[in-house]
Amino acid sequence: MLESHRGYDPGALAMARALAAALKAPLVSATVSRLLIDLNRTIGHPQLYSAATRNAPAGLRAAIAAQYYQPYWSQIERLVQQSVSRGLRVIHISSHSYTPVLNGQVRQADVGLLYDPARRGEAGLCARWKTALAETAPALRVRRNYPYHGKAAGLTSELRLRFPARAYLGIELEINQRIVFAAGRRWTALRGQLIQSLRTACADLP
């Protein structure tokens, strides 16, 4: 299970590191498996703990949250708060990947851009990012709010409650693991394409 998509998101950390290095942005990352605790779930979410840990004693679950979950969330919120308090707008890219086939269904995309449609800034950025990708990599299949909905309870949705839409844009980047596992030039090229297209999209922000 640890080596499967249930255990972690292959390629997500490599993508996050590439984005942070290229854009000179702070990187907050973790290598704790979601089989222990899912760092992209809110406290109280039924999938915060996996089947391996949800029936553990309450004290042990609290200790897991205190050691792994709270520091991760606190560091991200602190970085966002610091920028917002200086009058800056934060573009938060949360890096993920997804299994090519789930429950027998083949996912029909290479890249997914998840956002809250009610947040005009997020919708606009993802539209521009998708357009920029179409220009630099026309063969790439890019879909918005796929294979998940951008409003699902998680880190970005929680931060939307804490920061105004003008100040905080929370985008979840989802990459098909088929490309990650193929490795080689296509995976390298995709990282470069995502970085360059994001630069283009951000340059046009109103």
Q: Which helix (H) or strand (E) holds 98?
A: strand 90-98
Q: Between vectors from CA 175 to CA 142 and to CA 25, what angle results, nearest 5°?
A: 100
Cis status, amide bond into 147, omega within 30 of 0: yes
Type of residue found at 204: D
Q: At what angle do helices 120-136 and 184-203 cross, to 10 degrees?
A: 130
pLDDT of residue 206: 80
State the pairing for strand pair 101-102/90-98: unpaired
Of residues 51, 48, 50, 32, the one with CA closest to residue 40: 48
**Sheet (strand 111-114) strand order:** 90-98, 168-176, 111-114, 142-144
pLDDT of residue 171: 98
Domains of the chain in start order, with CATH, are 12-203 (3.40.630.40)
Of residues 145, 170, 144, the one with CA closest to residue 155: 170
pLDDT of residue 2: 86
Type of residue found at 194: L
* CA–CA gap between residue 199 and residue 206 (Å, rounded): 14
Q: Tokens for 87, please give them.
A: 């009058």
From first to last of its 206 residues, what are the pLDDT tens digits of the chain? 888 888 999 999 999 999 999 999 999 999 999 999 999 999 999 999 999 999 999 999 999 999 999 999 999 999 999 999 999 999 999 999 999 999 999 999 999 999 999 999 999 999 999 999 999 999 999 999 999 999 999 999 999 999 999 999 999 999 999 999 998 999 999 999 999 999 999 997 88
Residues in CB range of 137: below 8 A, 6 or more apart? 189, 190, 193, 197
pLDDT of residue 39: 97
pTM of the model: 0.96
pLDDT of residue 6: 87
Cβ atoms of 106 and 100 within 8 Å: the answer is yes
pLDDT of residue 119: 97
